[in-house]
């Protein structure tokens, strides 16, 4: 959880070709229904990288989605 009360997830990727990459993620509730989508576009060199992706915290404070 960030200081802004958002959910921050770090995904580990091994990059073989340098370039621009887009990480997309969907967050599901316990009923397997999608409740949020997030993306992060990053420029990466070859090697292993941790790519952050952030979901806004309002999702967790609005119980109708959970």
**Residue pLDDT, tens place only, 15-43:** 999 999 999 999 998 889 998 999 999 99
- 4 or 49, greater pLDDT: 49
Write phi, then psi, for 58 (nearest 5 degrees): -60, -25
- Mean per-residue pLDDT for 40-60? 93
What mean pLDDT value characterizes the chain?
90
Tell whether the model's pLDDT for residue 10 goes beyond 90. yes
Q: What is the pTM of this model?
A: 0.75
Q: How far is CA 48 from CA 14, 29, 38, 44, in A?
A: 4, 30, 21, 9
Q: What is the pLDDT of residue 34?
A: 92
What are the CA-CA distances from residue 21 to residues 26, 49, 53 (Å)? 17, 11, 13
Quick one: pLDDT at residue 59? 79
What's phi and psi for 42, nearest 5 deg? -135, 150
**How far apart, in whole angstroms, are the C-alpha atoms of residue 46 and residue 58?**
35
């Amino acid at each position: 959880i960030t200081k802004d009360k958002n959910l921050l997830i770090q995904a580990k990727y091994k990059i073989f070709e340098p370039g621009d990459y887009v990480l997309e993620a969907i967050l599901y509730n316990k009923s397997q229904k999608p409740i949020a989508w997030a993306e992060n576009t990053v420029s990466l060199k070859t090697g292993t990288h941790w790519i952050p992706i952030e979901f806004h915290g309002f999702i967790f404070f609005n119980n109708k989605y959970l």
